[in-house]
Amino acid sequence: MTSDRRDVVVVGAGPAGCVMARRLAEAGADVLLLEAGSERASSRAGLLDIGHRSRVVSRHHATLGDSSLDLPRGRTLGGSGAVNGGYCTPARPVDIAAWGTDWPRRYAVGLARAAERLRPGLAPMGPVAARVAAAFPGRVSAIGQARLGQRRVTAFDAWDPPGAGARVRTGARVYRLRWEGGRVGGRCDGVVLDDDEEISARQVVLCAGSIGTAALLTGSGIGQATGHPVGRSVQEHPELLLDLPADPAPAPDPQPGGRSGGLLRPHTGLPALLSHVVRLTLPAGVAALRPRGTEAPEVEIRPYAVPLHRVIPGLEPGPHRIGIALMNPVGRGHVLRDGTVRLADDPHDAAALAEAASMVADRLGLDRTATASTSHHLSGTARIGEVLDDSGRVLGVEGLRVADASALPTLPRCGPYYTVLAVAEDLSARMVAEHAW
């Protein structure tokens, strides 16, 4: 079954997809925004609805050395930005300059457009953040929050694609791309849903996230065989977690009241999980652990406001922890065709992180025992400069673009949410200027 032809089909209503759909519809394109999820996420700020009972995430298996991890990704309007912390930190100019000479200007313009829509604010510093800040004077930075009071503000809220005329379909899982004349890697002329419905389009823009976009590309024949290194050299911010002493503060109820059809119960709101971070460049002795010619390791100390089980419904109670994340790792992972993620297990990164965690533990008087984790910042599965051109077009392929975290040439030394929005603003502006449809 084939539906009517559209100017543009945007796959995925996450942060990048909402930006692309809004801006292209504003420019007069007939836009269809497809989202695999069929349920709306809670609007409660601070809630991370990623527990095992969540109906608004997809789950992906990952390995980190001998450890197995579960990577939840938003499967709802707003994507992962509707279920994660919603932290908004601009990338450093030096990180963006590494993308190319024109990117600092492009990024600044895109970021300004994103800021007009999302309008992130700041949250007060809680006691855990204050303790960490006191231990590292002069190194603390505030983190922008995508929330308005006790309401989360998602990209779907802020960009409002239907308000610009984009048509939105939920529960629409794209199974593969469609190729004109059946010639893989020639011209993409639409998508095929998992119920075999075919949707024709002049342009297809993939915004299904670093894992979903890579799986769609490789599952449709775009990969090593076509000269596109999809899912290779993927970047992530590895993280170690240190336990804090028991927290006697009363626990707010994290359960989303709408789960059983009721209204959210009026009670104390959830805090911003991460309102401030401490950023450090590690000393020369630790830098010597890095491969020759690489920068000194930089870490981000993350004083989480409460234990995670207080904000993740269904999570078993656990210790209150702070995180230490390596923000410029040298290791690279990859994503397999089935969506399995092999996170980098680089010994240089592991050594730098272990030294950083020991330093932080000593400064704060904590036990040095650390738990390995990840920041959920996976990016670069279809990089600009390797898989894509500078406008997000898949190299050598007509009618197909990528505009989400997959496209980032390198992962900035910060959470990538704000950067994804800024890059999507830039790529949508370039698509509008070309009148690509």
pLDDT, position 261: 31
What is the tens place of the pLDDT at every residue in 27-50?
999 999 999 999 999 999 999 999
- What is the band of 258 on the pLDDT scale with cuts at 50, 70, 90? very low
What is the tens place of the pLDDT at every residue in 292-319?
778 899 999 999 999 999 999 999 999 9
DSSP 359: H
Once rounded to an integer, what is the mean pLDDT over residues 150-168?
98
> Looking at the predicted structure, is the pLDDT value of residue 259 above 90?
no
pTM: 0.94
> Looking at the predicted structure, is the pLDDT value of residue 64 above 80?
yes
- % of residues, the chain, pLDDT over 70: 93
> Looking at the predicted structure, is the pLDDT value of residue 351 above 60?
yes
- What is the band of 255 on the pLDDT scale with cuts at 50, 70, 90? low
Determine the Cα–Cα distance for residues 13 and 18; give it in Å rounded to an integer. Answer: 5
pLDDT, position 317: 95
Q: Which amino acid is at 373?
A: S
Once rounded to an integer, what is the mean pLDDT over residues 327-333?
95
pLDDT, position 269: 78
pLDDT, position 288: 67
> Looking at the predicted structure, is the pLDDT value of residue 327 above 60?
yes
For residues 274 and 376, the answer to whether their CB atoms sit within 8 Å is no
pLDDT, position 17: 98
> Looking at the predicted structure, is the pLDDT value of residue 257 above 50?
no
Q: Which two tokens stand for residue 337?
A: 């065709």
Which 3 state secondary structure label does DSSP give 133? helix
**What are phi and psi for residue 308, nearest 5 degrees?**
-65, -30
What is the tens place of the pLDDT at every residue in 115-158?
999 999 999 999 999 999 999 999 999 999 999 999 999 999 99
Mean pLDDT of the chain: 93
> Looking at the predicted structure, is the pLDDT value of residue 100 above 80?
yes
pLDDT, position 283: 83
Once rounded to an integer, what is the mean pLDDT over residues 93-112?
97
Once rounded to an integer, what is the mean pLDDT over residues 331-357?
93
Q: Higher model confidence: residue 294 or residue 324?
A: 324
Determine the Cα–Cα distance for residues 437 and 5; give it in Å rounded to an integer. Answer: 12
Once rounded to an integer, what is the mean pLDDT over residues 328-345?
93
Distances (CA, A) of 308 to 273, 320, 340: 8, 7, 25
> Looking at the predicted structure, is the pLDDT value of residue 264 above 80?
no
> Looking at the predicted structure, is the pLDDT value of residue 6 above 50?
yes
pLDDT, position 253: 52
pLDDT, position 290: 78
- What is the band of 387 on the pLDDT scale with cuts at 50, 70, 90? very high
What is the tens place of the pLDDT at every residue in 184-208?
999 999 999 999 999 999 999 999 9
Across the beta sheet with 67-74, the strand order is: 67-74, 57-64, 341-342, 334-335
Neighbours of 252 (CB within 10 A): 16
User: Mean pLDDT lowest for which of 4-8, 373-377, 379-383?
Assistant: 4-8
Helix (H), strand (E) counts: the chain:
9, 21
> Looking at the predicted structure, is the pLDDT value of residue 265 above 50?
no
pLDDT, position 1: 61
Once rounded to an integer, what is the mean pLDDT over residues 325-351?
93
Query: Could you tell me which of 308, 352, 304 has the C-alpha nearest to residue 326?
Result: 352
Once rounded to an integer, what is the mean pLDDT over residues 320-345?
94
> Looking at the predicted structure, is the pLDDT value of residue 248 above 60?
no
Torsion sign over Cα 32, 35, 39, 43: negative
pLDDT, position 254: 55
Task: Show the 3-state SS of 24-43.
Answer: HHHCCCCEEEEECCCCCCCC
